[in-house]
Structure 1
Amino acid sequence: MDDLTIRPAVPADAAEICDLLNAVDLIEIGRAETDLHSVRDDLSHPEAGLAENSWLAHRGDRLVGYGLMWDDSGADRIDMDSYILPEHQDAGERLLELMEAQAVRRAAANGADRAVVHLHLNVRPTLDVSLLTGRGWRTVRKYHVLTRAITGAGDPVPSPPEGIALRDCREEADRRAAHALVEETFAEHFDHQPSTYQKWLDDLGAHIDWSRVWIASAAGSGDVAILLTRNDRESMGWISALGVRKSERGRGIAGYLLRHAFGVYAGYGRDTIGLGVDTENVTGALRLYEAHGMRTHFAVDTWEVTLPVSGG
């Protein structure tokens, strides 16, 4: 088709992009779960560089595809998102071409001799995956989004284990401590990219409520765990991060923090809470969550391709 046009996104496109993402949600998971403010946060991120790192594919006046790229590693690892309506696979292929070319340019600018690009897609995506395999992409990891029904009567806020104290992160010093805990407890996780404190704040966006971020401290050990949650999703409460220092694992701290989130969000009147987990996480996170009644809502594959930098 010759009526396809592609241009960079601008912040004013947020509502149109959100509508597209929710149309994809409906097809892939059966319900719309993308919030407008999350799209706005992506488009207003200080490092977004929309002119070079975003793409809108229109067919006539209709938005049929969207791509966004970011570079957290400052080296060869590049990440991208791609959304396409299923009847417009030619637009999806064109977006892949443009994003791959930009990934190579980003890696080259970082001084790398290759671009290792990751793309996260639903296991039953609207994008025809033969377009990926035909270009050398392969799946390297699987994530599950897990959810659980919660109620005020069934999920009271638990008392902490003996020797454990909990505090929120409304104070700046505690926010910095929370960042340090995230960096430490997630350092060995697949695809974790270290970040500065300011970069972490930028990635969290403007809607983070620090009264819903908690640090657990243990008598004699100091700060040992982090629980970062969000109440800004329309569809459910959300656990963004739950991490326990390696030396303190096996003491029941992670299970306590999970139950704390259940109880707090049930108290807010939420009926569902969710989180994302790497199914190959070596800490046993998936088993912990399933043991606490969480079940798979949908699954996501991480796709990877390695692209050489010319002259590398």
Structure 2
Amino acid sequence: MTLTVRPAGPGDAADICALLNAVDMIEIGRPETDLGTVESDLNAPDVDLATDSWLAFEGGRLVAYALVWADSGPGRVDGDHYVLPGHDEAAVLLLERMEARARELTAGSGVLRLQLNVAPTLDLSHLTARGYRTIRRYQVMTRSLSPAADLPPAVPAGLTLRHCADDEADRHRAHALIEETFAAHFGHVDRPYESWLDHIDGRRLDWSLVWIASLPGQGDAAVLLSRDDRTSMGWVGHIGVRKELRGRGLGGFLLRHCFAVYAARGRDTVGLGVDIHNETGALGLYEAHGMGLHYAVDSWELPLHSQG
């Protein structure tokens, strides 16, 4: 069967979304990719679709899709790679295209990183044969919600909580708190505000679902950024507490507040992603608040060399 490859275009978003949901069904048992997410990826300001994206067709059927981007600083390129099972030729061809483009973007000195389900549709022998190695594991965790069980928590003495919908300065403050509280996390990239907005698709964000907690004499102490634009569940993108104020229950309070808000909005599930090696104890915090494993993802890395 003839294999053809071409760049993606904005008009391909629906077909790409269908492919990703077919992969979701195999890997996690249900479709969880939204069209808006695919459209945001294709329209990202740092992506040139002509050079940074690929669609592979066999007999006119879309069987694989890949995308690379380089917004994480010098020497690092990130990528997505999706393929239906049994299409090894397409899988390898797109890996080759991604690697070649990543070498161009890094002048042959850096790394290419992929995030893949721990049991992906891609045959992992293709990665190990090409020199990729796993460097980190992340868990997507979820929790069921109900309006009766998830009531607003009692506010700790002296704590004040505000959302960021009404004040542009608070949006900048939320960004600053996230940068501060995530600075020591593996893989974190320090981004200025406008670049950060692009990275999180912040222009589609409902800022009333981003909260800052403050304490007397301490100022702004913690932040939780969430979003309600996914079909499958509400999503916690970031939750951070300033280092010197950890251990006071601020993270747990923000989580419980988030659960109550989303339950009241009619959501039955909330989710988040966590680095299982996170040294702040985030995994234990989430487990203590009733969150459980939905699926796990490995981060794979390939050292890039100018000669391939």
Range of TM-score over shorter length: over 0.9
Structure 2 counterpart of 1:216: 213
Contact 1:65 1:92 in 2 (8 A): yes
Structure 2 counterpart of 1:92: 91
Distance 2:287 2:223 in 1: 20
List structure 1 segments (4+ residues) > 3 angstroms apart after TM superposition: none
- Give the number of equivalent residue pairs: 306
1:152 aligns with 2:151: no
Deviations along 1:127-183, whole A, 9 cap, x unmatched?
000000000111111000000111111110112211211111111100100111111
Deviations along 1:89-147, whole A, 9 cap, x unmatched?
11010000010111111011xxxx61211100000000000000000111111000000
Residues 66-215 of structure 1 mapped to structure 2, 5 A cutoff? 66-108=65-107, 114-170=109-165, 171-205=167-201, 206-215=203-212
Deviation at 1:310, TM superposition (A): 5.0
Distance 1:74 1:279 in 2: 24
Distance 1:221 1:5 in 2: 59
Deviation at 1:204, TM superposition (A): 2.3
Structure 2 counterpart of 1:12: 11
Distance 1:89 1:218 in 2: 55
Structure 2 counterpart of 1:300: 297
Q: Give the TM-score of the pair, scaled to structure 1.
A: 0.96
Distance 2:14 2:48 in 1: 19
Question: Mind listing any 5+ residue stretches in structure 2 that lack a counterpart?
Answer: none
Deviations along 1:226-271, whole A, 9 cap, x unmatched?
1000111111111010011101101100000010111000000111
Residues 12-91 of structure 1 mapped to structure 2, 5 A cutoff? 12-91=11-90
Distance 1:136 1:195 in 2: 30
Contact 1:115 1:309 in 2 (8 A): no
Question: Mind listing any 5+ residue stretches in structure 1 that lack a counterpart?
Answer: none
Aligned identity (percent) is 58
1:309 aligns with 2:306: yes
Residue of 242, 245, 256 corresponding to 1:245:
242
Contact 1:146 1:276 in 2 (8 A): yes
Q: Secondary structure at the match of 1:299?
A: strand
Distance 1:156 1:179 in 2: 28
Contact 1:278 1:286 in 2 (8 A): yes
Greater mean deviation of Cα atoms: 156-165 or 27-36: 156-165
Deviations along 1:49-93, whole A, 9 cap, x unmatched?
111111111112211111011112331111111000012111010
Letter in 2 for 1:186: F
Residues 214-293 of structure 1 mapped to structure 2, 5 A cutoff? 214-293=211-290
Greater mean deviation of Cα atoms: 54-63 or 24-33: 54-63
Distance 1:163 1:12 in 2: 52
Distance 2:200 2:207 in 1: 11
Contact 1:140 1:301 in 2 (8 A): yes
Distance 2:269 2:48 in 1: 35
Distance 2:4 2:221 in 1: 51
Distance 1:47 1:169 in 2: 26
Contact 1:107 1:309 in 2 (8 A): no
Deviation at 1:207, TM superposition (A): 2.3
Contact 2:46 2:71 in 1 (8 A): no
Q: Give the TM-score of the pair, scaled to structure 2.
A: 0.97
